[in-house]
Amino acid sequence: MNARGLAAVGFVALGFGLGAYYTTDGLGVFSAANLIGGTLALAIAVLAALRRRGAPGGRRGSAAWVGVALALAAVWIAQHAFERAGLAFDWTADARYSVAPATRQALAALPQRLTLTLFHDGGDNRTRSTRLLLQSLARAGPVDVRERQLDQAADEAERYGVAASNAVVVALGDRFEVVERPTEGTIWEALERLTSARQAVLYVARGEGEGNLERSEPSGFSGLAAALQNEGYVLRDFVAAAAEAIPTDAAGVLFVAPRRPLRESSLAALEAYLERGGRLVALLDPGTDTGLEALLGRWGFSLPPGVVVDPASGPVEGDPPGVDPIAFEYAAHPITRGLDPTKMTFFRRARPVGVAHKPEPDDELRALVFSSKRAWVTTDVDAVEHGLAPKRPADAGEGYQALLAIGRFPRAGGEARIAVFGDADFASNRYLRSLYNLDLVLNAVHWATARESAITTRPKALTPDQYPLTPQQSLRMLYGVGLLIPEACLIAAALLWARRRSA
Amino acid sequence: MRPLLALLRKELAVLFGSPLAWLTLTGVGLVTALLFFDHLRIYNQILFLYATTTMGGFDTDTIPTYVNLRDQVFLPVMETLGLTLIGLVPLVTMRVFSEERARGTDELLAATLLTPGQIAGAKFLATFVFVAAMMLLSFLYPAASIVRSNLGLPHLLAVYLGLFGFAIALASIGLACSAFTESQLLAAISAYAVAFVLYDFRWLAQFAPEGAMVWIDPLSLHPRFGSFAEGLVRPADLVYFGGYALIGFALARVALDPRRR
């Protein structure tokens, strides 16, 4: 058999070997024998061909082969240089591989190198995306990335409690967390759990119809509870009606939309707590008068009854236009760090929260988040609650309406801090992860409890605009553009063929 | 420069004057259109279902995470189109050098003022123009649909950039194979074989040590163009594909060396 015949045999064997490998997804005797035999046959054919032709002649032949070697070297060097530089451009609609500031911050603060181990089985297509995500994280900080096949590292998988493919073990020293659905957000949360050394106790007021932090339905606040726990808070119930005083271990007290008036004794306990340097975060819906409004009034806040109507915001979920303001005006403050007009927050039927007067000269009172300057306030809360468009009185003044105000109050017992939101729904499960709501509410809690170092902009799961085409539109696109091009190409082929035949 | 441009023009005229080339364009256009339509149709139907029934809607965050453009449309289309390119590109490249050799017209070319490098360069360039035209034609319909439905156009561009790089690599393999033989059939078959071997080295992992796979695996074509399907454009991958063109060109230049005839 000559070299050409041997080469043909080699190609056929290689083709069958690879075909058998890909179709059975494994290397059996048949595919292995074909691959080895084919490679050998090709190697012998090449050697025979070279021998028959003789060595590349003279200086020019050698120079040409040197050119091939140089090309190989140049490609290898350039490729590795780019690989080491870690340059990558994320063109995904949801910015999947762009590492968020919170993750960068967390990675930069790591006390030691982090190890991310991806466990997978060979045929799992999801691992490619996860692998790229882990590589993005490795480029952003001191991270070692490893991969383990589940069937080959069963002991290691068992030690970590990994049961399914595409799980990532986030390990920092001896401590580890298993992330079953790896995204940047879930890995960041695992990292937070691993690194949050200091825990703070946050008392959550209950007993007066407040939002429930255990309920997981859309109107519940379990998402807020999970996010707070994730960022180092221990949540404890505080039944205001039964409490004589706020416990001394409280890093802060959280009120989420109380519906009924608080008892005088509860308000007195809260007042006393603030006087001795307590921390309060209140999420107050419109249409209620709980007594907190009056208490906050004594601390310089102004909470007029009414709902903010912002004509710059469109209708949401059947509500009349304007009553669900989208805020994009922020005053500079640690709570709003990282937020700008492109990073909006969404409120649902919010009341205005103003600042009226400073109780003491050294106090600091500020409004931080605003509606647009075209907003006004309606006092017809019932109409808004029933989904009716509020009528605008002729004398209604337009202007920026504050949706979050904060205050710092240095007192003999310590510095009291208060953050008041004019809405609670924005932090409900339904809206917590809308736009930058999660960042705003968590950063407010961090500021109020004097944990400013935890303030950050968290990884987002961005959803691209998704407007599906109807089947009719899809078909129209296919016939209008999709099939027109191949048809034109086929006509060109036919014309050329006909011309050649007639020539 | 003038002889070089004349050769480039001639190569383009030969390429675009061949019914086989237009049939290849038809094949790529048709496969892309049907494939993309089918995947987009299913994706749109699922989205529509979620948007119009009591299951929820776009603003209620109830669309499962697996229903996304990347997993439902871009990844499967790119995988299948990549395999289609392996089948079609060698049909275009097989005759570029080998036909000249078989007809003896390579001797005429060698007698011109053009160096082997210039001859190889002109042929490579003309083939790349054809490949670019092929990818552009197959891009139009998906792009129109993506723009119409307000989905991720940059991601689609990344997909096509990857496919273009992959096609350039395949064309370079095909051209190098064509330069070493006068048989078009052998040129095509060897291009298929080399492309399939380089496509994915995962099969080697069964018997190669893990340390060796760290070096061998990055040579595979598949993971490189897979990153583009994920929407991630890495210059290292572009250099990798460009490297095929450079090495293919250098090999073709060796084959055109007059002393080797």
Q: Contacts of residue B230 in chain A, CB cutoff 8 Å?
A: 92, 96-97, 128-129, 132
Tokens representing A32 are: 């292995």
**Between A and B, how many CB-CB pairs are < 8 A?**
238
Q: How confident is the model at residue A397 (pLDDT cuts 50, 70, 90)?
A: confident
Nearest CA of chain B to the CA of A140: how many Å?
Answer: 15
Contact assessment for residue A432 and residue A458, using Cβ atoms and an 8 Å cutoff: no
Q: Which residues pair with B233 in a beta bridge?
A: A89
In contact, A363 and A405? CB cutoff 8 Å? no
Q: Say which residues have a Cβ less than 8 Å from residue A7's Cβ, sequence separation at least 6.
A: A41, A42, A45, A46, A49, B186, B190
Q: At CB < 8 A and 24+ separation, what contacts does B35-38 make?
A: B35/B76, B35/B77, B35/B80, B35/B81, B36/A482, B36/B73, B36/B77, B36/B141, B36/B142, B36/B145, B37/A474, B37/A477, B37/A478, B37/A482, B37/B141, B37/B145
Bridge pairing between strands A364-370 and A200-206: unpaired
- Tracing tokens 């015949």 back to the chain, one arrives at A5
Q: Are B144 and A470 within 8 A, CB to CB?
A: no
- What is the three-class DSSP state of A175? strand
> Which of A376-396 are b and which e, b meaning 16 or more Cβ less than 10 Å from the residue's Cβ?
bbbebbebbeeeebbeeeeee
Which tens digits make up the pLDDT trace of A252-261?
A: 999 999 999 9
Cα separation of A128 and A116, whole Å? Answer: 15
The pLDDT confidence band at residue A25, using thresholds 50, 70 and 90, is low
Whether residue B251 and residue A68 make contact (CB cut-off 8 A), yes or no, is yes
Q: Which residue of A has its CA nearest to B248?
A: A68
Residues from chain A that touch B243, judged by Cβ atoms under 8 A, are 71, 74-76, 78-79
Structure tokens at B50: 């979620």
The pLDDT score that the predictor gives to residue A1 is 66
Burial class (CB in 10 A: 0-12, 13-18, 19+), A83: middle
Q: Which residues of A touch B231 (CB under 8 A)?
A: 90-93, 96-97
- Nearest chain B CA: its distance from A31 CA (Å): 10
Which pLDDT score, from 0 to 100, does residue B51 have?
62
CA distance B1 to chain A (A): 22
Rounded Cα–Cα distance for residues B191 and B133 (Å): 21
- Distance between CA atoms of residues A294 and A280, nearest Å: 15
pLDDT at site A21: 75
What's the pLDDT at A27? 67
Tell me the fold of A101-192. Glutaredoxin (3.40.30)
Mutate to test the interface with A, among B52, B230, B240 (most CBs of A within 10 A): B230
Instruction: Provide the residue type at B120 as one letter.
Output: A
Check whether A141 has a pLDDT greater than 60: yes
Looking at per-residue pLDDT, the higher value among A474 and A443 belongs to: A443
Q: pLDDT digits over A407-417, tens only? A: 999 998 899 99
CA of B131 to nearest chain A CA: how many angstroms apart? 14
CA-wise closest residue to A359 among A433, A438, A271: A271
Residue A463 is predicted with a pLDDT of 57
Q: Residue B259 and residue A122: Cβ atoms within 8 Å?
A: no
pLDDT of residue A51: 67
Return the percentage of chain B with pLDDT > 90, whole number.
24
Q: Beta strands of A297-413 (E only): which ranges?
A: 301-302, 307-309, 326-327, 329-330, 345-346, 354-355, 364-370, 376-378, 402-411
Beta carbons within 8 Å of A128's beta carbon, 6+ residues apart: B223, B226, B230
Residue type, position B153, single letter: L
pLDDT exceeds cutoff 80 at A447: yes
Task: Give yes or no for residue B41 having a pLDDT over 50.
Answer: yes
CATH class of A199-454: alpha beta
Q: List % helix, strand, coil for chain B (3-state, nearest 5).
A: 80, 0, 15
Residue B230: which of A64, A128, A430 has the nearest Cβ?
A: A128
> What does the pLDDT look like over A193-222, one tens digit per residue?
888 766 799 999 998 889 999 998 888 999
Q: What is the pLDDT of residues B74-98, one digit of tens each?
A: 888 888 888 889 998 998 899 889 8
Give A 70-109 residues with CB within 8 A of chain B. Answer: 70-72, 74-76, 78-80, 82-83, 85, 87-93, 96-97
First to last CA, chain A: 41
Report how far apart, in Å, the C-alpha atoms of A430 and of each of A105, A204, A313, B240 are. 28, 20, 18, 45
Whether chain B has a CB inside 8 Å of the CB on A389: the answer is: no
What string of DSSP letters covers B145-157? HHHHTT--HHHHH
Contact B150 A467 (CB under 8 A): yes
Half-sphere exposure of A186 (CA within 13 A, CB side): 14
Instruction: Locate the domains of chain A by residue range.
Output: 3-85, 101-192, 199-454
Per-residue model confidence as pLDDT tens digits over B111-169: 777 788 888 999 999 999 999 999 998 888 888 877 776 667 888 899 999 999 999 99
**Percentage with pLDDT > 90 across chain A:** 44
Q: Which residues contact A65 (CB under 8 A, 6 or more apart)?
A: A56, B254
Residue bearing tokens 């805020």? A327
Considering only CB atoms, B250 lies closest to which of A68, A92, A97, namely A68
Q: Do B26 and A493 touch (CB under 8 A)?
A: yes
Contact at CB, B157 and A65, closer than 8 angstroms? no
8 A C-beta contact, residue B251 and residue B175? no
User: What residue spans define the domains of chain B?
Assistant: 2-260
Q: Give the chain A residue whose CA is nearest to the CA of B255.
A: A64
Whether residue A56 lies within 8 A of chain B, CB to CB, comes out as yes
- Looking at residue A437, what is its pLDDT? 93
Residue A315 has pLDDT above 70, yes or no: yes
Contact B36 A482 (CB under 8 A): yes
Fold match flag (A101-192 vs A199-454): no
Q: Which of A92-101, A354-363, A384-393, B100-109 has the highest mean pLDDT?
A: A354-363
b (16+ CB within 10 A) / e for A332-369: ebebbbbbeeebbbbbbbbbbbbbeeeeeeebebebbb
**Is the separation of the CB atoms in A341 and A328 below 8 Å?**
yes
Measured between alpha carbons, how far is residue A276 from residues A258, A272, A394, A411, A416 in Å? Answer: 23, 6, 45, 7, 7
Nearest to B235 among A15, A87, A493 (CB): A87
Distance from CA of A328 to the nearest CA of B (A): 20
Nearest to A481 among B48, B144, B249 (CB): B144
Instruction: Say whether pLDDT at A442 is over 90.
Output: yes
Q: What pLDDT, on a 0 to 100 scale, did the predictor assign at position A327? A: 92
In this prediction, residue B62 carries a pLDDT of 55
pLDDT top residue among A27 and B56: A27
Would the CA dihedral through A380, A386, A391, A396 be positive or negative?
positive
pLDDT confidence tier of residue B57, bands split at 50, 70 and 90:
very low
